Structure 1
Amino acid sequence: MDKENNIMLVGDIMLDFAGSTGLTDPDRAPRRYLWTDAFAVCNFLELYRRSHDETWLELARQLVDQVHHVLGRHRDDGQASGWLSGLDEQEGELHPTIGGLRIGKKLPERAPDEPADERLEWDRDGQYYHYLTKWMHALSCMTRVAGDVTYLRWGMELARTAHRAFRYAATPEGSPALQWKMSIDLKRPQVRSAGLHDPLDGLVTYSELRSLAGDFAVDGLPDLGEEIGELAAMCRGKSLATDDPLGIGGLLCDANWMELLVIKGDFQHLRLFRQVLDDSLASLESAGDGFLELPARYRLAFRELGLSIGLRGVANLARLVVEFQEDHDPDLLFELTPRIEALTPHLAMVPKIERFWREERNKGTEHWKEHRDINMVMLATSLAPEEFLQAG
């Protein structure tokens, strides 16, 4: 009964989201935000998988199309117009992601001659690498469910564009790293610091795209082998531990996708996989669960729900034991099993997080209202995460 109630709530949330953000309501101007929309695509696909109702699949298609036509083009209040790639209208329709995708922030980006303002930058538009990887994953899910390699091509073109634009030489020796935030046209960094998990997100997502390309065996797709090699080098020897709930959830999601790709034989970075499991556990133990006792006004729902979604992926990791028993090195199985078992007790946080944010009384804070779209969509993902947690 709980699962049935959950999926009914997910359906209600997503219909409200579709109407309130201008996806299905023609009287509303589209309000697109790349991170939220990536999760929303997966939620629509999950509703389609469970119901076989084509309406949900069509909503996923419409959302992808609207994201590309809004965030793949310059802002209406900017000096430039048309596709971010600079392609003409016809070519831009064929390659809508090849110029990247805007974040969807309310304020225009910082001008080249404008001084940086760290506080204001959070509300300014531009391009985020970790938002682009989430959209690549959503396009992978569309490919797998709809069986249309057009989405895969768009995801791989976006991967190649993002890697070239965000990559820079971080040391005098030329060691590569990734910028945190770039301008809308991808010509200048807006925030130079590197995201802790961006190289890992890129490595896992590009590996997912490459794995899916192998399944469909389509000619002419980008290979991404060089990019995957560089991202693996960026991850090597670096701690990924964090005390941020959303960051921990992201680590656990990456571990989940790594596991699925390892099982397929499409991810060979097993030392990194072990490290992600170790750093995830260390992060969970360091952060603790004391934040679950705080009142709503001191909490950010989407960050906690990101952790909940990642913890949902921990349940998938247990499958690794069964799969490896038949096909893989028993010594590796011996190393991974205790790591997975140590993560399992932390699953107890999931129902606590979900129950808290389902309560209407906890949705009256300014934090909730300011982030309502992302909060509701990620709550829906946590309640029904299977499509989001798939890979390849």
Structure 2
Amino acid sequence: MATSQAKRHDEPTAAGCTAASLMHAFAERTGVIGDLPPVRYLWTDAFAVCNFLALGQADLAERLIEQVHAVLGQHRADDARTGWIGGMDAQTGTEHPTRGGLRIGKPLPERDDDTVVDWDLEWERDGQYFHYLARWMHALDQFSRRTGHADAGRWARELAQTAHRAFTYAPTPGAPKRMYWKMRIDLSQPLVEAMGQHDPLDALITYWQLRAHQPQGRVGHGPELDAELRDMAAIVAGTNLLTDDPLGIGGLLADANRLAQLLRVRPGDNPLLGLVVGAASRGLARYLATQPFAQPVETRLAFRELGLAIGLQAVSRLWVLLERDAASLDAQPELRRALDVLITQVPLARTITDAWCDPAAQDTAAWRAHEDINAVMLATALVPEGYLDLA
């Protein structure tokens, strides 16, 4: 299945780059294959797992998963603490590698308690991000769906339960819950208390995705996530989803596509879907009004634009799903109008991928500073089915 998709979609662009070549270079550069020690970063690796699945390379996806758990599931080499983050013994950690959460994989250690916050430096410090954990839950679930690997689905659910327990809180007894944006490596306390704008939405849809995956004969599949879903539904209800950030817009579109796939029956009747699609449409209009692609390539961040390219390819999929339920879609004219606007922008995805496949664009300091995440997300934009399509 995945191999035939790769042959159909992974055609060379005008610049001659392919997802297969990008992912092979990434695998060599970061130690997935070859003799180099593994260098793992959770966000990039989540997309990479999905790309390997799309390319019919489930063996590399599995190897990468094992490395992520062995590296990011345990404390840093420069940390006084050792072993699995959750404090498990070796056997328990191997069986439940996500139970303590997973480090981001940033180059610098987390901030000490007595260190004054330097917000520029905080971006380079380790810890745990919920939105990275949610991407990894998705990657594990995609791997489990496509390979039948039962443990991967359980690991995703156990990670969801752990992350939810650590990142959600009530500011005062009885008050609506909120989420922290960044936690310490051991999840003992927050490093950044502000809430990520789309973290609750990502959580809600990802938890739903994990619950919806119920293969026959599954045993010991992990927590059901009922209470976690209720919490997230309440948090999302009070969240403003509108953003003009291209990566955020792409994330909204990918979430809308996942939501429509999970609804299966009459997706046009779901009010959350309308809110997500509407926010993405308005945000995209704001973003394009700034004429971002007129800026010199040296000043742009490839992975943010590529996140939008991935999301725009979710729009075509979303259109097909919603057209099956034309009556309920027509009953929501705002959703129909937003979708009509978004579908006209789908060709922009190819414009973005062609721009970043250009060797001149990759021969810039901006590209090289984020080479792994740029290359992997470019590959996702070239073969998006591993990331966007639920098996």
* Structure 2 length-normalised TM: 0.92
Matched, 1:37 2:49: no
Question: How much has 1:170 moved relative to structure 2?
Answer: 3.3
SS of equivalent to 2:12? helix
Question: How much has 1:342 moved relative to structure 2?
Answer: 2.2
- Alpha-carbon distance in structure 1 between the residues aligned to 2:77 and 2:170: 34
Stretch moving more, 250-259 or 173-182:
173-182
1:59-86, CA deviations, whole angstroms, 9 ceiling, x for partnerless residues? 0100000000000000000010000111
Residue 241 of structure 2 aligns with which residue?
240
Quick one: which amino acid aligns to residue 37 of structure 1?
D
Residue 277 of structure 2 aligns with which residue?
277
Correspondences of 1:304-315 after superposition (within 5 Å): 304-315=305-316
Contact 1:242–1:248, Cα closer than 8 Å, also in 2: yes
Question: How much has 1:243 moved relative to structure 2?
Answer: 0.9
Residue 19 of structure 2 aligns with which residue?
10
Contact 2:268–2:322, Cα closer than 8 Å, also in 1: no
Residue 384 of structure 2 aligns with which residue?
385
Gap change, CA 1:57 and 1:214, over 3 Å in 2: closer
Contact 1:251–1:276, Cα closer than 8 Å, also in 2: yes
Residue 97 of structure 1 aligns with which residue?
98
Question: How much has 1:5 moved relative to structure 2?
Answer: 2.1
1:214-239, CA deviations, whole angstroms, 9 ceiling, x for partnerless residues? 66654552110110111011011432
Quick one: which amino acid aligns to residue 236 of structure 1?
A
- Alpha-carbon distance in structure 1 between the residues aligned to 2:285 and 2:157: 36
Question: How much has 1:263 moved relative to structure 2?
Answer: 1.0
Question: How much has 1:270 moved relative to structure 2?
Answer: 1.8
Contact 2:72–2:103, Cα closer than 8 Å, also in 1: yes
Q: What runs of 5+ residues in structure 2 fail to find an aligned partner?
A: 1-7
SS of equivalent to 2:191? strand
Stretch moving more, 337-346 or 144-153:
337-346
Gap change, CA 1:120 and 1:352, over 3 Å in 2: same
Contact 1:149–1:216, Cα closer than 8 Å, also in 2: no
Gap change, CA 1:380 and 1:316, over 3 Å in 2: same
1:274-326, CA deviations, whole angstroms, 9 ceiling, x for partnerless residues? 1001101110111116111111111000000000000010010111234325x
- Alpha-carbon distance in structure 1 between the residues aligned to 2:363 and 2:17: 23
1:320-352, CA deviations, whole angstroms, 9 ceiling, x for partnerless residues? 234325xxxx33553143332221011131111
Correspondences of 1:284-299 after superposition (within 5 Å): 284-288=284-288, 290-299=291-300
Correspondences of 1:1-392 after superposition (within 5 Å): 3-5=10-12, 9-26=18-35, 28-48=36-56, 56-170=57-171, 173-213=174-214, 217-263=218-264, 270-288=270-288, 290-325=291-326, 330-335=327-332, 336-391=335-390
- Alpha-carbon distance in structure 1 between the residues aligned to 2:43 and 2:361: 23
- Alpha-carbon distance in structure 1 between the residues aligned to 2:216 and 2:238: 31
Gap change, CA 1:360 and 1:218, over 3 Å in 2: same
Contact 1:236–1:272, Cα closer than 8 Å, also in 2: no
Question: How much has 1:358 moved relative to structure 2?
Answer: 0.5
SS of equivalent to 1:98? coil
1:137-193, CA deviations, whole angstroms, 9 ceiling, x for partnerless residues? 000110011111110000000000000000111356421111000000000111111
Contact 2:355–2:361, Cα closer than 8 Å, also in 1: yes
Stretch moving more, 165-174 or 117-126:
165-174
- Cα RMSD, aligned residues only: 2.0
Question: How much has 1:256 moved relative to structure 2?
Answer: 0.8
Quick one: which amino acid aligns to residue 261 of structure 1?
L
Quick one: which amino acid aligns to residue 239 of structure 1?
N
- Alpha-carbon distance in structure 2 between the residues aligned to 1:162 and 1:391: 22
Aligned length: 379
Gap change, CA 1:241 and 1:146, over 3 Å in 2: same
- Alpha-carbon distance in structure 2 between the residues aligned to 1:85 and 1:219: 20
SS of equivalent to 2:324? helix
Contact 2:52–2:60, Cα closer than 8 Å, also in 1: yes
- Alpha-carbon distance in structure 1 between the residues aligned to 2:269 and 2:376: 32
* Structure 1 length-normalised TM: 0.92
- Alpha-carbon distance in structure 2 between the residues aligned to 1:388 and 1:283: 22
SS of equivalent to 1:73? coil
Give % identity: 45
Stretch moving more, 96-105 or 291-300:
291-300
SS of equivalent to 2:305? helix
Contact 1:292–1:352, Cα closer than 8 Å, also in 2: no
1:42-61, CA deviations, whole angstroms, 9 ceiling, x for partnerless residues? 0000000xxxxxxx111010
Quick one: which amino acid aligns to residue 252 of structure 1?
L
Stretch moving more, 300-309 or 290-299:
290-299
1:10-36, CA deviations, whole angstroms, 9 ceiling, x for partnerless residues? 11111111111011122x121100000
Q: What runs of 5+ residues in structure 1 fail to find an aligned partner?
A: 49-55
Residue 51 of structure 1 aligns with which residue?
none
